[in-house]
Amino acid sequence: MLHQINFKGFPVTWARVVFVAFWLLGSEALAALPIYKITDFGAAGDGQTLNTAAIQAAIDRAHADGRGVVLIPAGVFLSGSLWLKSGVELRLEAGATLLGSPRRADYAKITWHALLLAKEQDNITLSGQGVIDGNGAALAADVVQLVKSGALIDPYWAHNRPHERERPQLIEFMRCRKVRVEGLTLRNSACWVQSYDRCDGLLIRRIRVESMAYWNNDGIDLIDSRNVLVRDCFINSADDGICLKSSWPPAFCDNIRIERCTIRSSASALKIGTASKSGFRNVRVRDLYVYDTYRSAIALEIVDGGFIENVDIARVRAVNTGNALFIRLGHRNQKGKPGAIRGIRIRDLDVQVPAGRPDAGYAFEGPPVEEPHNLFPASITGLPGHPVRDVRLENIRIRFAGGGRPETACMPLDSLDRVPERPADYPEFSMFGELPAWGLYVRHADGLSLKNVRLICEAPDFRPAIVGDDAGSIRLEKLRIQQPHSAPLLALRKARLALLKNTGILPDRIRYLR
C-alpha cells in the first residue's frame, strides 16, 4: 500500500511525488539517447515536400530500437498525421517548423483528427525550441470546401463553419502515461490546439501557444487526466485558454496543478467544465496573469451530472477581462441527475472589468450578447434544491467600470423571479441576461464565505453591489464596497447572514427582500 502524505493541501501518494520529481529533472537524464535525424530518412525542409512517411519512419525506428530522439532540424517540414510511440522524443531544434498539411485528407484520427497522435503509449516527449504550426486557416478552408462540395458530410454544419471534430488539432494523446511537452511554440490550429484524454503523468512546461487561426482554438484541453503539471506557459487562443473537461465516466480529472501561466483568450482564461460527465477533484492553481479576455477569468461549470470538489485557486491577476468569476451548476443532462459543486477556495484574485469589449482585435471575437445589458457581475448560481456549496472567496479585489443605467436594462429587486433559471443552457456568464447586481450575484448557494473582499465600482451604477437570492448562509468578514451612489450595498432574499464582521456596512445599506 502506498503511504499517504499531504502535499500543499492535497492528499497525494508517494508515487505522485516521485512522478513530479522525475519530470522536474527535465530532459537531462535523456541526453544520451540515440538521435534519429529525419533528414537521414529522406525528409526535406523546403516547406513543400510532404514528409509524413519519412518522419514516421524515423519515429518507428526509434521505437523499434527501444528509445530515441527523433530530431527535426532547422527548416520547414510539411507533414500529415504522425503517430508518436513509446520511448520516443520528438525534438524540434531552433529554427525548425513542423508544418501541418493544408489538406484534410492527410490527417488520421483517434477521437479527433490531429497532426500528432498517440494512443496508449508510455514515455513520450515533444520538446525543443522549434514550432509546430497547424496551418489552420488553409486547413479549415479545405474542410469548408469539402463540405460545400459534398465530399465530406457534416451533419453539424452551421454558420459556414465545419464541426470541430472535422477540423484537425495539433496534438491528441489518449490514454498515454508519462508524457512531457516542453519548450515548443504551438500555433495556428484549425480547432483545439492540444488535448490529453485520460492521460496519467503529464508535464506541460514552458510552451507558447499562439492560435487564433480559426474557431474553437482552445489552448490546452485536459480530459479526465490525472497527475498533471502545467507550468510557465503562455497561451494566446481564440477560445478557452486552459480547459479541464470530463467526458468518460468513471474517469475524472484528478491531481491537476497549473502554475505561473499567462493567458489571453477570446473565451474564458481558466475553465473547469463545460463537458462535465464525471468530474474534477484536487485541482490547484497558482500565479496566473490574464489579459484581454472576452469571458471569465475563472469559470467553474458542472452541467452534465458530474462534480467539482477540492479546488484551490490563488494569486490570479486579470486585466481587461469581461467577467471575473463564473461558477455554475446547471442541468444540461436532462435525463440524469444534476451534479454537484462543493469545496471551492479562491483567494488573492485581482480583476479589472472594463466597459468595452476586452477581445477587440481578435480575428474571431466572442459572440455579442443580443439582449441589451449592463456590465455583468461575478456570479455563483446553482439550481433550485441543488445549491453550490461551500465556496470561500478570500483577499479578492474586483474593479468594475460600472455605469449601469436602468434605461439600458433593468432587473428590479422586487422582480428577482424574472431572472431565468435556464438549467439546460450552455453555461456562460451572460446566460441569464441582465442581472440585478453590479458586483456579485448569488442564487441557489449555501455556505458562501467572503473574507477581505473589495468590490469597486468606478462609475455610478444603479444596482446594489451584491444580491443573494436563495443563498443559504453567508459569512461576510472585512467586506469593502466602493460605489459612488446610495443604492443598497447588499440585497438578500431567502438568505441568512451567519457572520457580518468588520464590514463597515450600516444596517440601512442592507435590504431584505421577500
Residue 245 lies in a domain: no
Q: What are residue 301's DSSP bridge partners?
A: 328
Contact 294, 267 (CB under 8 A): yes
Alpha carbon distance 191, 113 (integer Å): 10
Boundary (domain end) residue, out of 190, 224, 239? 239
User: 274 and 168 share a domain?
Assistant: no
User: 143 and 213 share a domain?
Assistant: yes
pTM above the 0.95 mark? no
Per-position DSSP letters for 422-436, written without gaps between them:
-TTSPP-TTTT-S-S
Residue 244 lies in a domain: no
Per-position DSSP letters for 385-411, written without gaps between them:
TB-EEEEEEEEEEEEE-----TTT---
Peptide bond into 274 cis (omega under 30): yes
Alpha carbon distance 157, 163 (integer Å): 6
User: 341 and 225 share a domain?
Assistant: no
Residue 261 lies in a domain: no
For position 24, what pLDDT does the model report? 45
Other CB atoms within 10 Å distance of the CB of residue 28: 7
> What is the pLDDT tens value at each position of the chain, 514 positions in all?
333 333 344 444 434 543 444 444 444 444 589 999 999 999 999 999 999 999 999 999 999 999 999 999 999 999 999 999 999 999 999 999 999 999 999 999 999 999 999 999 999 999 999 999 999 999 999 999 999 999 999 998 988 899 999 999 999 999 999 999 999 999 999 999 999 999 999 999 999 999 999 999 999 999 999 999 999 999 999 999 999 999 999 999 999 999 999 999 999 999 999 999 999 999 999 999 999 999 999 999 999 999 999 999 999 999 999 999 999 999 999 889 999 999 999 999 999 999 988 887 777 777 788 889 999 999 999 999 999 999 999 999 999 999 999 999 999 999 999 999 999 999 999 999 999 999 999 999 999 999 999 999 999 999 999 999 999 999 999 999 998 877 789 999 999 898 888 888 878 889 999 8
For position 31, what pLDDT does the model report? 56
Which residue from 136, 218, 214, 222 is spatially nearest to 179, judged by alpha carbons? 222
The count of domains in the chain is 2
The boundaries of the domain holding residue 358 are 266-410+423-514
User: 36 and 71 share a domain?
Assistant: yes
User: 200 and 300 share a domain?
Assistant: no
User: 328 and 473 share a domain?
Assistant: yes
User: 67 and 198 share a domain?
Assistant: yes
Type of residue at 125? T
User: 77 and 160 share a domain?
Assistant: yes
Residue 482 lies in a domain: yes
Residue 461 lies in a domain: yes
Residue 4 lies in a domain: no
User: 272 and 397 share a domain?
Assistant: yes
Residues contacting residue 436 through CB under 8 Å, at least 6 positions apart: 411, 412, 413, 416, 419, 463, 464, 467, 491
Element counts in the chain: helices (H) and strands (E): 3, 37
User: 309 and 164 share a domain?
Assistant: no
Please report, for the domain that includes residue 231, its CATH number: 2.160.20.10
User: 34 and 142 share a domain?
Assistant: yes
Residue 32 lies in a domain: yes
User: 219 and 281 share a domain?
Assistant: no
For position 511, what pLDDT does the model report? 92
SS3 52: helix
Distances (CA, A) of 422 to 273, 330, 334, 426: 17, 8, 12, 9
Boundary (domain end) residue, out of 239, 254, 277? 239
